[in-house]
């Protein structure tokens, strides 16, 4: 049965909030560990449902995947082209990233792999991954609209391709590059708009040859096929997408100051924090460092008076998952915040553009959707709240509106907490530990 959660006005948020490991990097560490020869040790792996589904998938492909302790995992891989055909259907749960990356992984093997997911994932389009994989010689059989369940049938010999991304998608890029590992020669992805580069960074970390060149038509990323990948240690930074929720909460709740240690600060993922700084947020980056090729810092976030701004569409790829919680921040800001170019929000775990706008309106915030743009009119003097939000199996919608409730005039509820575990297990207890008031009982209209 769905389990509602209620979020009421918080006392000042103070202390250290250790958010889970980066979801994108966790998926890739498990997959590349399974495609390597030898042992890969992983520290700080996100143990949410999405990533655990990828761990089960790599076991189904024949890799040894062992849980050693909280956040600590060991993978013994099979090498590029050495995966087994799974004996059963691979269930990716709610993990769109996991399914798209695993489709690319399976494409590089002369095997047949069946994929499915939960009700939300079965509504999400996989055709944007299937199209380039088909050009490489892979056969994909899917439901109408390229939706799961689906089958990926790898050829005996995979063909390298050069492919220009029609939409900015790190998941599609990564699926092609992962498939390209098994293709003779060079596989190139051209992205007119840059997307997060975790796959390129981690491929190099495991020993692949990856070249990146910027040209007039975009960024060219080339992977040289049939490498000998070698197992390596991986330290997973704290996920900036998960850090967004306690960070925005601290900005909104008067008297708050929290520390978020070890957060990934890759500039292709840090668009939300860049935007919050432009809005007047007091966010300090300390102890900057590099871990496993990724930039990391400790963030100190203090309560701030925010102002509305215009967020350009070209920033969307660096913060596409953070728009719901940015909209929550905008609801408390002074003046209007316009977020442009949000078309990708419509094909996430839910239609996040509609869910964000509808939820804010239910809480008494004036919003407008014009095509792919969202305008939030912040009053600067509080949000009424007093609403229950239908989250539709979407973890980011769920957490965004729990954050809204921490600074609203009256309690805000979500209709089901289950989805939160896909990316941020322990969110409720962690936030309550620094001053939030999230529980299973409350009162809304």
Indicate which CATH number applies to the domain containing 173.
3.65.10.10
Strands 387-389 and 218-224: unpaired
Shared domain for 219 and 297, answered yes or no, is: no
Please name the helix (run of DSSP H) or strand (run of DSSP E) that holds residue 388, with its range, or none: strand 387-389
C-alpha span between 159 and 73 (Å, rounded): 33
Residues 52 and 95 in one domain: yes
CA neighbor of 234 nearest in space, from 297, 292, 294, 288: 292
Q: Is residue 158 part of a domain?
A: yes
Examine the residue annotation and report whether 321 is marked as an active-site residue of this protein: yes
Select from 281, 301, 253, 276 the least CA-distant residue to 403. 253
Pairing of strands 373-379, 334-339: antiparallel
Same domain, 12 and 93: no
Assess if residue 444 is contained within a domain.
Answer: no
Query: Do 209 and 245 have their domain in common?
Result: no
Last residue of a domain, one of 235, 259, 283: 235
pLDDT mean by block of 10 residues, the chain; 445 residues: 92 96 96 98 95 98 98 97 96 95 96 95 92 97 94 96 94 97 97 93 96 97 97 95 97 98 94 98 97 91 97 92 97 97 81 95 97 94 93 94 97 95 92 96 65
20 and 43 Cβ atoms separated by less than 8 Å: no
Residue 424 contacts residue 249 (beta carbons within 8 Å): no
- Closest C-alpha to 53, from 105, 118, 149, 134: 118
Residue 298 and residue 227 share a domain: no
Catalytic residue among 321, 392, 394, 416: 321
Mark which of 235, 258, 282 sits at the end of a domain: 235
- Does residue 277 share a domain with residue 228? no
**For position 441, what pLDDT does the model report?**
81
Domain identity same for 269 and 208? no
**Are residues 34 and 12 located together in one domain of the fold?**
no
Rounded distance, CA 191 to CA 219, Å?
5
What values do phi and psi take at 346, rounded to 5? -75, -15
Q: Are residues 244 and 207 in the same domain?
A: no
DSSP 161: -
Same-domain status, 101 and 220: yes
How many structural domains comprise the chain?
2
Q: Are residues 262 and 219 in the same domain?
A: no
Could you tell me if 74 and 39 are in contact, meaning their C-beta atoms sit under 8 angstroms apart?
Answer: yes
Q: Would the pTM of this model clear 0.95, i.e. be above it?
A: no
Q: Are strands 218-224 and 5-8 parallel, antiparallel or unpaired?
A: unpaired
Report which of 81, 73, 69, 79 is spatially closest to residue 38, judged by C-alpha positions. Answer: 79
Assess if residue 182 is contained within a domain: yes
Pair of tokens at residue 92: 């990716």
Residue 102 and residue 61 share a domain: yes
What tokens were used for 8?
């009421």
Nearest partner of 312 among 330, 337, 344, 335, judged by Cα: 337
State residue 142 phi and psi, 5-degree precision.
-140, 170
Domain that includes residue 78, residue range: 23-235
Q: What angle do CA 14, 18, 21 make, to 5 degrees?
A: 155
Tokens of 226: 């049939």
């Amino acid at each position: 049965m769905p389990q509602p959660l209620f979020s009421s006005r918080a006392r000042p948020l103070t202390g250290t909030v250790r958010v889970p490991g980066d979801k994108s990097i966790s998926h890739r560490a498990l997959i590349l560990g399974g495609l390597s020869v030898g042992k890969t040790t992983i520290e700080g792996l996100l143990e949410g449902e999405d990533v655990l589904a990828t761990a089960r998938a790599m076991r189904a492909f024949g890799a040894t995947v062992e849980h050693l302790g909280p956040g600590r995992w060991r993978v013994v891989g099979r090498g590029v082209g050495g995966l087994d055909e799974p004996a059963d259907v691979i269930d990716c749960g709610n993990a769109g990233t996991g399914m798209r990356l695993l489709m690319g992984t399976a494409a590089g093997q002369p095997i047949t792999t069946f994929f499915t997911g939960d009700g939300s994932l079965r509504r999400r389009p996989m055709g944007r991954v299937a199209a380039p994989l088909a050009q490489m010689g892979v056969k994909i059989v899917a439901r109408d609209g390229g939706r799961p369940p689906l089958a990926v049938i790898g050829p005996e010999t995979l063909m390298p391709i050069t492919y220009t991304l029609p939409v900015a998608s790190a998941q599609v890029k990564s699926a092609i590059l992962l498939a390209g590992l098994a293709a003779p020669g060079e596989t190139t992805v051209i992205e007119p708009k840059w997307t997060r580069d975790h796959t390129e960074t981690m491929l190099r970390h495991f020993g692949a040859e990856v070249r990146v060149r910027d040209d007039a038509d975009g960024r060219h990323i080339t992977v040289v096929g049939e490498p000998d990948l070698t197992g390596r240690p991986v330290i997973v930074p704290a996920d900036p997408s998960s850090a967004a929720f306690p960070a925005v909460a601290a900005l909104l709740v008067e008297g708050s100051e929290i520390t978020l240690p070890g957060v990934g600060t890759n500039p292709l993922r840090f668009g939300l924090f860049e935007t919050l700084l432009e809005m007047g947020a007091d966010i300090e980056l300390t102890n900057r460092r590099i871990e496993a090729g990724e930039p990391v810092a400790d963030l100190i976030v203090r309560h701030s008076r925010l102002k509305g701004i215009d967020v350009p569409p070209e920033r969307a790829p660096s913060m596409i998952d953070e728009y719901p919680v940015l909209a929550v921040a905008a609801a408390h800001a002074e003046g209007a915040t316009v977020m442009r170019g949000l078309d990708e929000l419509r094909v996430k775990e839910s239609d996040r553009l509609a869910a964000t706008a509808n939820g804010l309106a239910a809480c008494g915030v004036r919003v407008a959707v014009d095509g792919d743009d969202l305008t939030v009119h912040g009053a600067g003097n509080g949000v009424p709240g007093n609403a229950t939000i239908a989250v539709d199996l979407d973890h980011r919608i769920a957490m965004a509106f729990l954050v809204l409730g921490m600074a609203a005039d009256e309690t805000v509820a979500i209709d089901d907490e289950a989805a939160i575990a896909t990316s941020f297990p322990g969110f409720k207890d962690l936030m309550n530990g620094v001053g939030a008031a999230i529980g299973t009982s409350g009162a809304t209209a």
